[in-house]
Chain A
Amino acid sequence: MTILITLIGALLFAVLAPVVGCLLAGLDRVISARMQGRVGPPILQPYYDVRKLLGKERVSVNSVEGTYVACALVFACLAGGIFYTGGNLLLCVFVITLSSLFFIIAAYSSRSPYAEVGAARETLQVMSYEPMVLLMAVGFFMASGSFDVSAVFSLDAPIVTTVWLVFLGLLFILTIKLRKSPFDLSMSHHAHQEIVRGVTTEMSGPTLALVEIMHWCETVLFMGWVGMFFVWGSPLSVLVAVVVVLAVYFLEIWIDNNFARVKWQFMLKSAWAVALLAGGVNLAVLMFI
């Protein structure tokens, strides 16, 4: 039964998440433009971009790239389905990692020098944020007593009250996960700090459109992780969570517009230090007190 619900959830997620994610991406671009003193594009601009990409000629550097990217998208949707149907948080984390792996292999398979540099950096990014993500899942368990996301609805107080340090850690690595400055090493949305185009160098037309859609899905999933910290038994709490998610998204945009890309050493060390401090300390306190 759970399996069926999860699969239906994944299908629903595949339909709805791109809509929400697209609007969030549009919002991102408008707000970024305003921060830079510009008017910016229409809010549906990401949608236009993807529609245009889908209409372009289908070209590829090899026969497999598109398949890998499609896999990445499918598993991102599966992860979303698991999360939003209240499934196991660890499984969700693992499946989204599988999705990133397929994205990385897609870039590696092209064997283009620029794409490979991007792929190697994307791998490094995964390595940087993975400890914190796992510790987040453990923190969730310690605060809610279950790995099932649905457990938050039976709580008396949101889990952020006990694992606020883990939440801060998640905010830190969220920037890496969303590939925003200063941690946009593998691919940047801003041309001025990019080696050609990182991971997506060889992806064009419809394949690139799939990548964009995958990013929308990822954004919706990660924002769900953020919101999860603020949900408890009260139905009103969902509203609170939405407000927090929007605030966090705004914060990410602000960070994106105010920092230049850092070197990989700094990213790795800082992300691991944050995981150790925020995750480790918070969990230790929960265990021993």
Chain B
Amino acid sequence: MAYASKSPWVIHYDGSSCNGCDIEVLATLCPGFDGERFGVINTGNPKHADIFLVTGSVNAQNIDVVREIYDQMVEPKVVVACGICACSGGIFHDCYNVIGGVDKAIPVDVYAPGCAVRPEAIIDAIVQGIGVLEEKAAAMKSAKKGA
């Protein structure tokens, strides 16, 4: 039984965005949707998190921040791009300062488009992310056994 899927702790970072998706992510984590039913906990610390929710696009200012948060998360970990800006840059994609979607900075596992992305879509993405997390955990386990 994979426990990775039973307790996905998330961390949330808002890049260069209009803050719409940001608000939706917080709304998703609020009691109304009760993510804790699935073991979801919102942490403020990358070292404790399993799933990285990024909203907004990546620009020259924040690309290092996104990378550092990702690097500090402990394996196995999953990145979910929330909203169209995080997926591809969205309406900001040709701004002078925007580099593009989050995948320009770090590997993204699940894309959840929308402007703004709806809580249902985020929950769906997290559930998909859990699947990826489980795969990665299993891979880690077998690598450990092999080694």
Contact = CB atoms under 8 A, between A and B. Distances in A.
Interface string B29-51: 00100101111011111011010
B17 to A, nearest CB: 21
A49 B50 CA distance: 11
Contacts of A191: 41-44
Interface residues of B, number: 25
A258 interface: no
Contacts of A38: 31, 34, 36-37
Interface string B76-115: 1000000000000000000000000000000000000000
B45 A197 contact: yes
Interface stretch (A55-63, A67-75, A155-163, A273-281): A55-63
Contact of B34 (A33, A49, A200): A33
B74 interface: yes
A196 B45 contact: yes
Given A29-B36, A40-B37, A48 B44 contact: no
Given A40-B36, A57-B140, A52 B47 contact: no
Contact of A37 (B31, B42, B137): B31
Contact of A201 (B39, B45, B137): B45
Given A191-B44, A201-B47, A49 B7 contact: yes
Interface residues of A, number: 29
Contacts of B3: 48, 51-52, 55
Interface stretch (A138-146, A166-174, A202-210, A234-242): A202-210
Contacts of B67: none
A59 B140 CA distance: 14
A37 B32 CA distance: 8
Interface string B1-38: 00110110100000000000000000000010010111
A33 B32 CA distance: 11
A28 to B, nearest CB: 12
A113 interface: no
Contacts of B37: 38-41
Nearest to A32: B36
Contacts of B48: 197, 200, 204, 208
Given A36-B31, A48-B7, A56 B39 contact: no
Contacts of A202: 47
Nearest to A114: B45
A51 B134 CA distance: 13
B43 A49 contact: no
B31 A52 contact: no
A39 B3 CA distance: 21
Contact of A52 (B7, B38, B42, B45): B7
B36 A33 contact: yes
A57 B75 contact: yes
Which of B41, B45, B76: most chain A CB closer than 10 A? B45
Given A40-B34, A41-B39, A201-B47, 5 more contacts: A48-B3, A56-B76, A57-B75, A203-B47, A208-B48
Top 7 closest A-B pairs, CB basis? A51-B3, A48-B6, A204-B47, A57-B75, A52-B3, A38-B34, A197-B45
